[in-house]
Structure 1
């Protein structure tokens, strides 16, 4: 019997737009403290599922439980409490262009908390430093930031309320290999220091090998395979086999990669 605490439980989810069915009878669990990598071919519905979990896309059927609560059967006040325990990093950062980094990070605080400005400034600065940005980044606008800085600023906003679970949508897309590796390392360190649970939609094989504790694969409108990297490498599912063992797959085994990574730290 699996004794891990389930932070997110998705059951029998069905989502369609008009006559186009995107997700059907989809089940998924995310456990406390893990980094789950969620993958699938382009256009299969990875972002649709993420948006459905967050309540941004309407489902036609199914049950979503977050922290053990059915999100459709709780009061508005209880839903706010659940929302405060979640952080989201949208693809490309989705920072507000007219606001500084400091002001972007303070958006969740202003929405959910009643704090003096000085305290919000102090908390936002702590988040800026937490994600590896310099304090001087606080007064910059998104147009003045590099791609990597935008990702870190968006992550700081996702962490503004000290959430229990963070949702990351393609967090390393658009970053060079060094920047992507540094961001992966940051995610792993934050998980360990803050006790985060991480739901990460990604296409990045390096991220999956380096930081994902478990991987779920979306195919045929549902989660077709879920497990460790070793499970992915041994799977005979056609898409999984092509993705993890194809021409662009890694040429080293996970144990060797982990030993190399440990030597570099």
Structure 2
């Protein structure tokens, strides 16, 4: 059996920025998703589409379920109902073997990096390779070093432990691990959280560059207005247990919902328009 997902070509245009013709099917569709704990639903009948080649920002107030949505798509949190269609395949209908093929095309950067403290950067990046592939050690070393270079880390970082890294280096090392299997779809959970403004801006630029050069599609949970403005093609706002609105920052600025209006037209947001 051949792989059910074929490698993507590098993406040159972004559907959300160039409205109109030849928009491909969504790379990810979330349909009627309900997720809850005990008697409470965090998400309820949620609908969302992620287009091929875009950087989609997921934003919402604390506790609205942004990370719950991400982890539910990844199968880390059970859903009460709903469907996920990834690369055109309904995940509920796939065999275990074919689900594995899909999962190998996903990369994840968890909040705070989530690197294994007892492993070096090189060994952390090799974790997905060891889990999904059977490769000789020398080849894994070469591949891991190439990912380290790809995310802008110095080769010397390969043999450092997470405790020896700065916050920005941890994020880049975690991104290198997320890219270990050359994914098509990458999930980022608060990737610039805890970074100083310069490091955060550099990381946003890195994400945009990697999207353009590798043909990635990016699902990014963030509360960072700079990231939303500089890196994201489109933004989805979570509120009232669902996706309340989607659009560009300028489109959402005109939304009349109280929370959206306050978030995108408040003093901090106004500074974004002044800089743009």
TM-score by length of 2: 0.91
1:253 aligns with 2:273: yes
Aligned residue number for residue 165 of structure 2: 145
Q: How many residues align?
A: 256
What's the offset of the Cα at 1:136? Answer: 0.2
> Is the partner of 2:27 in helix, strand or coil?
strand
Query: Among 79, 82, 95, which residue is 1:75 paired with?
Result: 95
Paired residues for 1:28-177 under 5 Å: 28-177=48-197
What's the offset of the Cα at 1:253? Answer: 3.0
8 A Cα contact 2:55 2:218, kept in partner: yes
Cα deviation per residue 1:60-87 (whole Å; 9 max; x = unaligned)?
1111111111111100110110011000
Paired residues for 1:172-191 under 5 Å: 172-191=192-211
Aligned residue number for residue 263 of structure 1: none
Q: 1:16, 1:156 → 2: CA distance?
A: 32
Q: Which runs of 5 or more residues in structure 2 are unaligned?
A: 1-19
Paired residues for 1:204-223 under 5 Å: 204-223=224-243
Q: 1:54, 1:250 → 2: CA distance?
A: 35
Paired residues for 1:9-24 under 5 Å: 9-24=29-44
What's the offset of the Cα at 1:250? Answer: 3.1
Cα deviation per residue 1:53-110 (whole Å; 9 max; x = unaligned)?
0000111111111111111110011011001100000000000000000000000001
Q: 2:44, 2:113 → 1: CA distance?
A: 29
> Is the partner of 1:72 in helix, strand or coil?
helix
1:202 aligns with 2:254: no
What's the offset of the Cα at 1:131? Answer: 0.2
Aligned residue number for residue 8 of structure 2: none
Q: Which runs of 5 or more residues in structure 1 are unaligned?
A: 258-265
Runs of 4+ residues deviating >6 angstroms: none
Q: 1:13, 1:60 → 2: CA distance?
A: 8
Output the aligned Cα RMSD. 1.2
